Structure 1
Amino acid sequence: MGFPELLDQVGGLGKFQFLQAVALVVPIMCVTTQNMLENFSAAVPSHRCWVPLLDNSTTQASVPGTLDPKALLAVSIPVGPNQQPHPCRRFRQPQWQLLDPNATATNWSEAATEPCVDGWVYDHSTFTATVVTKWDLVCDSQALKPMAQSIFLAGILVGAAVCGHTSDRFGRRVVLSWSYLQIAVSGTAAAFTPTFPLYCLFRFLSAFAVAGVMMSTTSLLMEWTSAQARLLMMTLNSLGFSFGQILMAVMGYGLRHWALLQLAVSAPFFLCFVYSWWLPESARWLLSMGKLGLGLQELQKVASINRKTAGDTLTREALLSAMQEESGGAQASASLGALLHAPSLRLRTWISMLCWFAFGFTFYGLALDLQAMGSNIFLLQGLIGVVDIPTKMGTNLLLGRLGRRPSQAGSLVLPGLCILANTVVPHDMGSLRSALAVLGLGSLGAAFTCLTVYSSELFPTVLRAVKKVTHSTPAPCILMSTGL
């Protein structure tokens, strides 16, 4: 008797699977807020140089009372490329001649300017404070903002490499619990950090653990669900990311201070860490590692929750048979090299990597720069999640009717068409460009569902977490966000 038959005996889709899905998918929503956090916590508000005439009460007292702030701004700050006050330059001396209605561009363009040596004044109408305003990540320091995002994505990449092997060696639940705790601690610490380098360090540690949560969650859902119900379970898992997008929009709208938002998206993981210790370890993994006694305990626990009388079938002989089938020397071959050694696995690996690359490059490239897509980033963030939900539910039906390969191909073609169409839309048609971008991002949700289901079914249990290292999506986006 193999493990699928054992799982059918204890219940492959019952009360336990429902409770497990709730316990694992809710943290996935919170993980999504970690991924999308810097759209809000690191938003770049409108800004200009600090100038004495406008921002120093002592200097203001010596200015004639007939001059309004608009006039004082005109003589203090040169006009920028977008016909707005320049964000990074100011006049060395007030250019009073610019108040003359006959003044020409030559009057001010030849005037000496200087950088914002006294700091900046930020527009706080949308956000009370962001990472950018706290550490002045603008003008000459503007490259530090995408660098922080790149460090976060690098953390996911490194976390995928480490947590994949750790999960296959020490178990899914152990890695999951530790990852919950690490996100909670490092995310909370990031909210109180006094320096930008420390902020980047804590964000890196959070991203490292985010990879562990996503990988361990997928493995546990797949390995505790019957083959017939895995499509449904993976769809629920992917819907967790969709609802997380909406949750991020709500939290970003309600909490306009970056530190409060950072704390709000990190603290819930303390609760996740506490209850994760009641989650059963993957019996399939336990058997593949030769841990017969622990595997029997977990199967009996699940049978009890599902109210299945599996006492006659849960024998040592049945588990020994399943253990031999699951392990079969796989423990020794659970490495990245095993994916490239066998010709069939090598082909699957390269094609899966290409699909994940296409998804990750496109999704992260669009979703991590919502300010470039439109002015109302709260609405855009929410629309991404709203469009995602029906798309992923429809994908569930297509995967069952059309099969994996046609659905996977179609889900990658549609976002590509949306992006290509966006390249020919004029920049002044902002609403249409935003609509195409949101449609493309929503379609990528279908691609994510297909990839999660399809790639997980193509690899053996013992290699299921190892192969996810090759599928880490942030790698191309690290290059993109740093301009390489």
Structure 2
Amino acid sequence: MPFADLLEEVGGLGRFQLIHITLLSIPGLLMASQNLLNNFTAGIPAHHCTIPNMTSALNLSEVDQSALLRAFIPQDDSQLSQCKRYIQPQWHLSSGNQSHTRNLNYTVMETENCMDGWTYKKTEFISTIVSEWDLVCNLRPLKQMSQTIYMGGVLTGAIIFGGLSDRFGRKMLLTWSYFQLAVLGTFTSFSSSFLAYSTFRFFTGMAVSGVILNTVSLKVEWIPTKTRTLVGSLSSLFFTVGQIVLAGIAYSLKDWRKLHVAVCSPFFIVFLYSWWFSESARWLVLNGRSGEALQELHRVARINGKHEAVEKITLEVLHSHMQKELQSSKTVFTAYDLLRTPVMRRISLCLIAVWFSTSFAYYGLAMDLQKFGVNIYLMQVIFGVVDFPAKLVALVMLTFLGRRLTQDLQVMRTTLAVLGKGFTSASFTCVYLFTGELYPTVIRQTGMGFASTMARIGSMAAPVVLILDELFPALPSVVYGSAAVIAGVTAFLLPETLNVPLPDTIEDVEEKWSKKTCRFQEQLQHEAMVLDTLGQTAEEPEERQSSGLDAL
């Protein structure tokens, strides 16, 4: 596209782009915390029914306390029951000798629900929403519901902020999303009830969508074509480091209220410096604000030290470079345009499958770390560390093999949970970049929001599949893996965008990737080869004749 030439004239990947990308990527250190926060804020501490008059027993040694608990709490598979207690103390069990209990009258061993609440161990967690509002036993589904409500907010944000940013600009919506995330995320820590907590988390999820979608667009729309892959892959490592940062913060605090403040309040700082960002010049031109676009280009040129470009690039030059795009800017685009034309429809339908299954597989692995039976903080670090080699492999494949083949990496997710999570994370890196390159500027954010909506549906569906392990332990993995294989195959139906300039209009997409255009281009190449062959054949007799005369 002609605008790519303007980017090169104002410095290409210069000082401005490096600062711009870094400042946009830094929040990624804490953005990973938002989606995975439930592992720690809603962690389930070891617990059992509260024993009446247990206060006097707190001074006992751990061995004596264990013996006392056996008299009050029945055991399930050699573990203390979490939801039942004996109506009458069974003192004969406190010795640990249960061989003679088989002949006891059933009524003596009668149990009841936890009438006086629960007692929680504070070794792994000091406080979580589970221990705060007793989300155990009959209320245990509310733990998963809190994550589903948050993902519902992320889904809603993808729908709302995607369309709004195409209408009002990337920078404005990004700045607002930072502010919303900082305020509501911090207020979550003051929740006095589960309802208040869930409400704050819903609107925080909306802000997370606004941040992610607009960050991707502001990056790709200011980066030259040849460096998009490198920049997109390396900046995604901030999310990877963020997973390790989350584990460290969660381990040091172990309190859900303090944890929310720690990972949300820094966005006030991000909100303040976000005013430095430059609005997408592409978007400004296509929305009839060419004067502002010119100012942004001049600003970028000055920061990059290309002062001659300030004089060279005028409003007339800008319009001449984007004349075709300006003609289409008078049209109002809606989500319907994502499906209206053949190529856009093929792209959108394929991305639905890819985004859904990528998110489905990723959150199926990453959202319930306690099921692995390993220290939850250590497991979070392991998941973060394994992302590094996976994303480096993705970077190499994105650079040399393209986007479609790289997307099939998620098939490997089925071999091992940790490696699977790492490669699925790498797939996320690819699909964010891929989607931004496939959709044109005039409707890029609407498309990103549409695709991201499918991802959120996948993340909301992922926990439900875990119920299948009651039928067969490996069944959830089979379901996640099957979805990943389908997505990998679907990705091959998408056009390749490696080293291809960003499209600005729907017409660009149709012309560039329609099958008729591809066949026409292949026909032209074939005709050119035929003409070259005929030309060489026609020249051969003359050369031979000339050689004969020389011989004479």
d(CA) in 2 for partners of 1:42, 1:323: 51
Determine the structure 2 residue equivalent to 1:38: 38
- Mean CA deviation greater in 135-144 or 456-465: 456-465
Taking structure 1 as reference, are residues 168 and 106 closer, same or farther at Cα in structure 2, changes over 3 Å only? farther
**Paired residues of 2:360 and 2:461 also in contact (CA < 8 A):** no
Determine the structure 2 residue equivalent to 1:385: 384
d(CA) in 2 for partners of 1:367, 1:98: 40
1:94 matched to 2:89? The reply is yes
d(CA) in 1 for partners of 2:258, 2:27: 19
d(CA) in 1 for partners of 2:354, 2:166: 23
Determine the structure 1 residue equivalent to 2:236: 238
- The 3-state SS of whatever aligns with 1:392 is helix
Per-residue Cα deviation, 1:160-196 (whole angstroms, up to 9, x for no partner): 0000001101100101100001011001100111111
d(CA) in 2 for partners of 1:302, 1:223: 13
- The 3-state SS of whatever aligns with 1:29 is helix
Alpha-carbon deviation of 1:470?
Answer: 2.4
Taking structure 1 as reference, are residues 466 and 128 closer, same or farther at Cα in structure 2, changes over 3 Å only? same
d(CA) in 2 for partners of 1:16, 1:263: 32
- The 3-state SS of whatever aligns with 2:104 is helix
1:143 paired residue among 141, 144, 156 = 141
d(CA) in 1 for partners of 2:176, 2:25: 17
User: Structure 2: any 5+ residue segments left out of the alignment?
Assistant: 468-552
d(CA) in 1 for partners of 2:343, 2:102: 68
Determine the structure 2 residue equivalent to 1:20: 20
**Paired residues of 1:180 and 1:273 also in contact (CA < 8 A):** yes
Per-residue Cα deviation, 1:286-306 (whole angstroms, up to 9, x for no partner): 011110111011101100111
d(CA) in 2 for partners of 1:104, 1:463: 72
What pairs up with 1:465-480 in 2 under 5 angstroms? Answer: 465-472=445-452, 473-480=455-462
Determine the structure 2 residue equivalent to 1:118: 116
Alpha-carbon deviation of 1:69?
Answer: 2.4
d(CA) in 1 for partners of 2:105, 2:329: 74
- The code of the aligned residue for 2:313 comes to L
What pairs up with 1:188-227 in 2 under 5 angstroms? Answer: 188-227=186-225
- The 3-state SS of whatever aligns with 2:75 is coil
**Paired residues of 2:68 and 2:94 also in contact (CA < 8 A):** no
d(CA) in 2 for partners of 1:290, 1:11: 24
Taking structure 1 as reference, are residues 106 and 360 closer, same or farther at Cα in structure 2, changes over 3 Å only? farther
d(CA) in 2 for partners of 1:331, 1:78: 72
Taking structure 1 as reference, are residues 479 and 394 closer, same or farther at Cα in structure 2, changes over 3 Å only? closer
- The code of the aligned residue for 1:84 comes to Q
Taking structure 1 as reference, are residues 109 and 278 closer, same or farther at Cα in structure 2, changes over 3 Å only? farther
Determine the structure 1 residue equivalent to 2:509: none
**Paired residues of 1:296 and 1:319 also in contact (CA < 8 A):** yes
d(CA) in 2 for partners of 1:399, 1:207: 29
**Paired residues of 1:149 and 1:481 also in contact (CA < 8 A):** no
Determine the structure 2 residue equivalent to 1:256: 254
Taking structure 1 as reference, are residues 48 and 339 closer, same or farther at Cα in structure 2, changes over 3 Å only? same
d(CA) in 1 for partners of 2:205, 2:327: 34
- The 3-state SS of whatever aligns with 1:90 is strand
Determine the structure 1 residue equivalent to 2:312: 313
d(CA) in 2 for partners of 1:121, 1:70: 13
Determine the structure 2 residue equivalent to 1:432: none
What's the TM-score once normalised by structure 2's chain length? 0.80
Taking structure 1 as reference, are residues 32 and 331 closer, same or farther at Cα in structure 2, changes over 3 Å only? farther
Alpha-carbon deviation of 1:105?
Answer: 4.1
Determine the structure 2 residue equivalent to 1:421: none
1:481 paired residue among 463, 476, 481 = 463
2:71 paired residue among 60, 69, 75 = 75
d(CA) in 2 for partners of 1:295, 1:273: 23
- The 3-state SS of whatever aligns with 1:124 is coil
Alpha-carbon deviation of 1:104?
Answer: 2.7
User: Structure 1: any 5+ residue segments left out of the alignment?
Assistant: 419-435
d(CA) in 1 for partners of 2:440, 2:81: 58
- Mean CA deviation greater in 202-211 or 317-326: 317-326
Alpha-carbon deviation of 1:481?
Answer: 3.0
Taking structure 1 as reference, are residues 462 and 106 closer, same or farther at Cα in structure 2, changes over 3 Å only? farther
**Paired residues of 1:287 and 1:322 also in contact (CA < 8 A):** no
d(CA) in 1 for partners of 2:11, 2:103: 80
**Paired residues of 1:78 and 1:108 also in contact (CA < 8 A):** no
Alpha-carbon deviation of 1:325?
Answer: 3.0
- The code of the aligned residue for 2:170 comes to R
Determine the structure 2 residue equivalent to 1:104: 101
Determine the structure 2 residue equivalent to 1:428: none
User: With CA pairs under 8 Å and 6+ residues apart, which has the higher RCO, 1 or 2?
Assistant: 1
Taking structure 1 as reference, are residues 391 and 327 closer, same or farther at Cα in structure 2, changes over 3 Å only? farther
d(CA) in 2 for partners of 1:89, 1:154: 34
d(CA) in 2 for partners of 1:446, 1:170: 31
1:444 paired residue among 400, 408, 424 = 424
Alpha-carbon deviation of 1:456?
Answer: 1.6
1:48 matched to 2:48? The reply is yes
d(CA) in 2 for partners of 1:340, 1:108: 70
Determine the structure 2 residue equivalent to 1:349: 348
**Paired residues of 2:410 and 2:420 also in contact (CA < 8 A):** no
- Mean CA deviation greater in 31-40 or 156-165: 31-40
d(CA) in 1 for partners of 2:428, 2:105: 53
Aligned residues: 459
- The 3-state SS of whatever aligns with 2:327 is coil
- The code of the aligned residue for 1:389 comes to F
Alpha-carbon deviation of 1:8?
Answer: 1.1
Alpha-carbon deviation of 1:323?
Answer: 4.2
d(CA) in 1 for partners of 2:14, 2:42: 43
- The code of the aligned residue for 1:460 comes to P
1:178 paired residue among 176, 181, 206 = 176
1:459 matched to 2:424? The reply is no
What pairs up with 1:344-423 in 2 under 5 angstroms? Answer: 344-409=343-408, 411-415=409-413, 417-418=414-415
- The code of the aligned residue for 2:345 comes to R
Name the larger-Rg structure.
2
Per-residue Cα deviation, 1:194-248 (whole angstroms, up to 9, x for no partner): 1111011111111100000000000000000011111112112321211111111
Per-residue Cα deviation, 1:21-41 (whole angstroms, up to 9, x for no partner): 110101122111111111111
What's the TM-score once normalised by structure 1's chain length? 0.91
d(CA) in 2 for partners of 1:197, 1:177: 28
Determine the structure 1 residue equivalent to 2:159: 161
**Paired residues of 1:9 and 1:313 also in contact (CA < 8 A):** no
Alpha-carbon deviation of 1:108?
Answer: 7.8
d(CA) in 2 for partners of 1:462, 1:365: 34
Taking structure 1 as reference, are residues 106 and 190 closer, same or farther at Cα in structure 2, changes over 3 Å only? farther
d(CA) in 1 for partners of 2:382, 2:15: 32
Percent of aligned positions with the same letter in both sequences? 42
d(CA) in 2 for partners of 1:117, 1:136: 12
d(CA) in 1 for partners of 2:189, 2:44: 18
- The 3-state SS of whatever aligns with 1:114 is strand
d(CA) in 1 for partners of 2:170, 2:333: 15
Alpha-carbon deviation of 1:70?
Answer: 2.6
